[in-house]
Structure 1
Amino acid sequence: MKVLSASSYKRMPWKNGGGETVEIAVSPENASLADFDWRVSMATVATDGPFSSFPGIDRTLSILQGKGMRLMIDGREPVLMTGGTAPLPFPADAATTATLVDGPIVDLNVMTRRGKLAHMVQRVALDHPYRAEALGGTTLALCHGGAVRLTAGEATADLAAGDTAILEGSAAITIEPAASAVVFLITIDTPAG
């Protein structure tokens, strides 16, 4: 298990130059925006406008802070995303525009290279211990709110808000909140089938 503290994340401009993103983790390590296999990041969206296009990439977006935003994704009905909305998967190369509901938001983006990897994102609100199974590939646990103790096999880590643990391979995972907490569980693996 590798633990990344919130203070260690890398800040960089958006691909389209319209804002700033905070890169939590990327694979391979030090990959650019053009050649990553997977990437997990947070972005502050302060104005309405288009999303950066990432050809050949699948994306899942979640709202971390703010009132939310309405997404217009080419070929789909508009969708309102808020902090309570389930993570939304969509192609990162589909033309996408965002309209803020009421002021800036911070979102969580998980992206994988289509055909090579697939991912799933779960938002889990905890007030008691939670058990999950890492079935292989890479699992990331981002502590969004509160604090948690994460145990996977013999490894244990305490995560404060904003910290992330990265696990490789299969393991039983137990997440114990200090009080109440919100954790985003992200699994990245080769596509099924």
Structure 2
Amino acid sequence: MQIIRQADLVEKPWKNGGGITRDIAAHYNGETLLWRLSMADVDQDGPFSAFAGLTRVLTVIRGSGMVLHSPESDAPADYAQPVTFDGATPITASLTNGSIRDFNLMYATAHVNGTAETLHGSAQKSIGAADQTVVVHCITGQIDLAASGQLRSGDTAISTKEAVEISLTSESIALCISLTLPSE
């Protein structure tokens, strides 16, 4: 299991120059991006970068949220509620009450299946399965990883090929992601 501490992440400009992102991890099959994790700060309304061929799952991890506007509809992106959309869809975001930080999962739609859910408060759970890549991000509080350490707010754990046993404290919120990859 790999643990990535928020303090170790490096800031860089967005693809469209409209903000700051921090890459957490990415996985490739040769030249093909299979999945990518990042955190972004959004300080103003504006367009998202387009990522054709990728499914995006955005979760607001700090701040009250925003509304994602697409040609088809508007979708709320509220605190700790994953929102899934096609990376090629033109999206413009409107902040609902000030700046936010979001956690982004992008995965190759043609090659990867992904799910994301949040867990709130005291809980113990097994996340994922032996044939999946499992990601656990600590939105707030503390998460104990059975025999593998601890996550604090902003930290992320990634496990390949095994489920992850987690235990949350009463004030904790965890973002739990399971990715099923092609046989490599």
TM-score (normalizing by structure 2): 0.90
Answering whether residue 174 of structure 2 is matched by residue 183 of structure 1, we say yes
Answering whether residue 151 of structure 2 is matched by residue 159 of structure 1, we say yes
Matches within 5 A, 1:95-174: 95-151=90-146, 155-171=147-163, 173-174=164-165
Show the counterpart of 1:74. 71
Structure 1 unaligned segments of length 5 or more: list them: none
Name the aligned partner's letter for residue 149 of structure 2. A
Show the counterpart of 2:36. 39
Show the counterpart of 2:11. 11
Name the aligned partner's letter for residue 44 of structure 1. D
Q: Separation in 1 of the partners of 2:145 and 2:119?
A: 14
Runs of 4+ in 1 over 6 A off after TM superposition: none
Alpha carbons 2:119, 2:175 under 8 Å: kept? yes
Alpha carbons 2:60, 2:79 under 8 Å: kept? yes
Structure 1 residue 5, shift from structure 2 partner: 1.1
TM-score (normalizing by structure 1): 0.86
Q: Separation in 1 of the partners of 2:122 and 2:169?
A: 8
Q: Separation in 2 of the partners of 1:132 and 1:114?
A: 21
Q: 1:101 to 1:131 in 2, by over 3 A?
A: same
Q: Deviations over 1:69-89 (max 9, x none)?
A: 1111232x21122115x3111
Structure 1 residue 35, shift from structure 2 partner: 5.3
Question: Is the deviation greater in 36-45 or in 173-182?
Answer: 173-182
Structure 1 residue 130, shift from structure 2 partner: 2.6
| SS state at 1:28 partner | strand
Counterpart of 1:56 (choices 43, 48, 53) is 53
| SS state at 1:43 partner | strand
What's the % identity of the aligned pairs?
31
Over aligned residues, Cα RMSD in angstroms? 2.1
Q: Separation in 2 of the partners of 1:134 and 1:63?
A: 26
Name the aligned partner's letter for residue 156 of structure 1. S
Q: Deviations over 1:122-169 (max 9, x none)?
A: 111131323334242211111111111112xxx422111111111111
Structure 2 unaligned segments of length 5 or more: list them: none
Name the aligned partner's letter for residue 177 of structure 2. I
Q: 1:43 to 1:167 in 2, by over 3 A?
A: same
Q: Separation in 1 of the partners of 2:90 and 2:127?
A: 34
